[in-house]
Structure 1
Amino acid sequence: MSKSSSKSSSAKSIVKTVDLNSRTTSSSTSNLYKDILELVLLCTLTEEPSTSSLSKIYLTELASLDIKNWDKNRIDQALFERLRICDPSSQLITSSTKRSSIAHEIISENRCLHYLSGCYQRLLRQRDHFQLILDDIQKLFIDHSKTAITLPSMYDDQDLSKQWIELLIESNDNALLCEYIDFVNNELLSSMTTEIESLYKKVFHYMYKAIQPLDYFSNDVISYISVLTHLSQWAILVQMIFRLSHPKTLSNRSSRDAHISSTSGRAFQDTLIGSLLSKSCLPSIPGKPFLFFNKPKLMSERDIEITATTMWQPMKTYQDHLSQLFKVFVKSSDARHNVKLS
């Protein structure tokens, strides 16, 4: 065989190998995207009961298409259809042989932001398996979350601000959820819009209403302070918090007590920051306010010791968390003056 024939044969062999590898990679990536559909979105295009241990939501529109290869655009289509289903439980396909490894309440989640945050967390828990397409799918969930918040009319039957505050509170003990919220906030707060401001105004109003009746020993108060501390890494939110906590804005809040004028001494107390600073400093315990001072002579030394421990520890915890919150506030140059006035 001549040298030229040998070189030509080798070249053809290389081309075939490259083509085969390319098709193998393409097929492998397509399978990954299909796994995203089933393992992350918890959806299926098969109407018959599955033999796997995972129930799924049947996507009618996507199932009508003859899909040969899966890619990011197909996942985007699937996600859009899933989010538009009003009653996902009506399209639940259960396993014919096994009990579902994920609760049906999670699979049938119909709250937009809860579902998207759940998808994000499921993706990250399987990051090694989806490493090749991880960044693209992460961004997809963040983009859909941003769209939901900036175009609330798409989900006018849902209370997105309530969903967001629920996720914020839950993120206190959930690192993956906290990461999701941070990514969404970075996208949202890069350019403030009317819709984003409206969302956070409702969130802060909800927090104010929840904090106002609570005593310092309530764990819920600590949870809300932790949320505020975390949100304060975004200067624009710190500005909003203090703007909404200025007594002059009292007349604009529907929650205002009709008996409190905007010039009264209680005006600041009737705000988000004011509700945190106006908690009684007299030590008390749940259900028995100021027992320590009412009848101290009727209490044994042991009772006094127990009562004192019960009172002082939560008070210290509250003060520590509140101090940390204001330290974060002070780091924001735009809000520093307002902090000093508080």
Structure 2
Amino acid sequence: MQEKALEDAFSQKVNLDIQHVEPKYQNYIVVIGESMRRDYMSLYGYPTKTTPYLDTANGLFLNGYISTAPNTITSLSRTLSLSKGLTYEPSINFVNLANSAGFKSYWLSNQGKMGEFDTPVRKFAILSDEEHFLKNGAYDGPINYQDSELLPSFKHALADRTKQHKLIVVHLMGSHPEFCHRIKHDVYGLEDKELSCYLSSYREFDQLMKKMVGLLNMTKQSYSLIYFSDHGLSNSHQKDQLVYMSHGSEHKSNYEVPFFMLSSDSHQHQLINKPVSAYHFLSLFSDWTGITSKKVTPLSIDQINDKNIKVFNFTNMVNFSDLAPDPAVKISR
């Protein structure tokens, strides 16, 4: 059903009745992560150093961002387009908003290009002016690509000397299971192999962010980068057993994800403790890019006042506060 809705909505680009365009930066980058829980990042207090670069990087780091849903398709369809919960309007999405405002848009992906769990999200990519996928098939195809292999395409997009403002979307494979098949190296070497590889994927992501910021600084152009993960994971294991990380919908950890903003004019590390639903993303994007449209109400993080966040658990909208806790597993050596 949602695939059909996306197919119909993306049959053509839609003009979103732009009223005003006043971007602050030349380059806007949206990095979409995968299966990353907030509580496993040392950035947010995890005792093992999993994000050493981000721990001290200058930028705005939000502690309290809650994803819309617990897997990629259901989450991103509601995050990247206009939605209040059960339904969404695919044609009113962030790529169409940027295109309508005269931005040049790029979509760079290490997710699958075609497949049961890939094609719906790719509909967003089709709307961009330029798209590049490392995988031509499904996300779980026979060849595994590292997220760092997107860096040449990212550098190429930055080098495009268009006079237009740019939106560059980078969709990562991130921390998606199977972790040990996706990482370059297991940097922790724990007896609990699953946890060890999962945490190693965080270290590789942290280094990727450092390299992307380095490339952005080399352009000598103003920029702002937003990162968020589409959803988290559950620790599906019994006490005293090895960790088994999996998709799920019943725990807070399935929705508690990182969100941060790194900008060329950031001069301090600012951590904000505030609940913010990912259902506001389109409004945040509008405010961030300086694009005012009749279809989207711009909102800053300061203007959001979420009291009772609801999430979509595949079938219903449920209170996030009612979900079960699922604390991060600490490393024991």
Q: Which has the higher helix share?
A: 1
* TM-score of the superposed pair, with normalisation by structure 1: 0.25
Q: Which has the higher strand share?
A: 2
* TM-score of the superposed pair, with normalisation by structure 2: 0.26
Q: Larger RCO: Structure 1 or Structure 2 (Cα < 8 Å, ≥ 6 residues apart)?
A: 2
Structure with the greater alpha carbon radius of gyration: 1
